[in-house]
Amino acid sequence: MRTYFFMSVCSVLTCFGLYAKEKVVLKIASIAPARSIWETELKKLSAEWSEITGGLVSMKFYNMSSLGGEREGIRKLKSSRPGQAAPLDGAVFSCLGLSELAPDSGIYTLSVPFLIQNEKDLERVLHELREDLDRPFRAAGFRVITWTNAGWLSFYTRAPYASLGQLKKQTIALSSLDSSVLGTCLRICGFDIKDAPNERFAPLLKAGSIDGFLSVHLFTWATGFYRYISYALDTKICPAVIGMLISDGSWARIPSRYHDAMLQAATRVRQRLANNLETLDRECSNNIQKAGVSIVRLTPQEIQEWRTEFAADVKRIQARLPGMLNMTLYEKIKHLLYSAQR
């Protein structure tokens, strides 16, 4: 009897030990371009999480484009059958994916032109309004690991323009931002937006079927698309915010004692990216200029005029697409940033 009892105890302890050492490999789809600073920082975060958890947790990254884009990434975050694990545990999304994952988030509010004008302002918003930003995604069943910025959206065109009105008359595509929502918002603002799915954007640009596009300096330089434009607006229109999320079910697989340290590591990633982005943005702008592209810089008066016009557009967007922008968040951001300036 004692031998049987001893063997039973050993069996239980052995099973417990195997369970306790079970590895958690998080499958994460990411929009981060290969060999970019974002991809590098994600790999660093995986290494930090492994160290924090004593090798228990690691991440395996998948290129979002290879999976079929952000919409497909969202689909793979959901289980196809009850009781079956979803193909993905989490993802790094742009506003396109974030908006489709949680339509009531109003995440495009962060993309209102000239609302957030520099990295310092963005960091303040991401830190002090974190609860407001995270809440809709928690309701959708996801833990927001961190927010960050992929760059500052601006306009790249073939022809010059002397005013915002002239720019709006040019046919503009959204480069890698395959978002019908953003396109609709810009049309409401008076822009001539050409629908150009990701696979059609480059051919349309090279053929001269569009006059320009909306993108960030890094994408424009890295893809070589600067070769097909003559003017680059070197003014921060709005941040290209991205978010990293993990499903609640996958997050729960990680012992809770590690959670705080893991989230702190993610915050350090955001801070490193913010510190490096301004330098990288400037380098890409200089490279584009050296390649022969004319850099357009708005005067303070022009920036104020553009800001005023876009602020009026916010009201039109809200009237035409109720709920697309989170007006409570919009007012909180204005109060936070403008009161800080005072």
Q: Is the pLDDT of residue 18 over 80?
A: no
230/212 Cα distance (integer angstroms): 9
Are the beta carbons of 307 and 338 closer than 8 angstroms?
no
7 vs 35, higher pLDDT: 35
Mean pLDDT of the chain: 89
Q: What are phi and psi of 24, to 5 degrees?
A: -110, 105
Give me the pLDDT at residue 33, please.
82
- What would the CATH number be for the domain defined by 23-341? 3.40.190.170
pLDDT tens-digit map of 271-330: 999 889 989 999 999 999 999 999 999 999 999 999 999 999 999 999 998 888 999 999
The pLDDT of residue 341: 58
170-188 tens-digit pLDDT: 999 986 555 677 888 899 9
Residue identified by tokens 């960050």 is 148
Half-sphere exposure of 310 toward its Cβ, with a 13 Å CA cutoff?
19
Say what the pLDDT of residue 223 is: 87
The pLDDT score that the predictor gives to residue 198 is 73
Query: Is pLDDT above 50 for 164?
Result: yes
Interior angle at CA 146, CA 144 and CA 151, nearest 5: 125
Give tens-digit pLDDT for 79-127.
Answer: 877 778 899 999 999 998 999 999 999 999 999 999 999 999 999 999 9
Residue of 17 and 145 predicted with greater confidence: 145
Give the separation between CA 45 and CA 269, rounded to whole angstroms. Answer: 7
What is the per-residue pLDDT across 271-288, written as a single tens digit (0 to 9) for each? 999 889 989 999 999 999
Tell me what percent of the residues of the chain surpass a pLDDT of 90.
73
How far is the C-alpha of 175 from the C-alpha of 210, rounded, in Å? 11
Q: Which of 342, 339, 333 is nearest to 117 (CA)?
A: 333
**8-state DSSP, 59:** E
What phi and psi, each to the nearest 5 degrees, are found at residue 173? -110, 170
Reported as a single tens digit per residue, the pLDDT across 223-251 is 899 999 999 999 999 999 999 999 999 99
CB 297 within 8 A of CB 235: yes
CA distance 172 to 212: 5
Distance CA 324, CA 315 (A): 11
Q: Is 224 helix (H, G, I), strand (E, B) or coil?
A: coil
- Whether 2 shows a pLDDT value over 90: the answer reads no
Do 154 and 117 contact (CB within 8 A), yes or no?
no
Residue 162: both structure tokens together: 């002397």
More confident call, 186 vs 342: 186
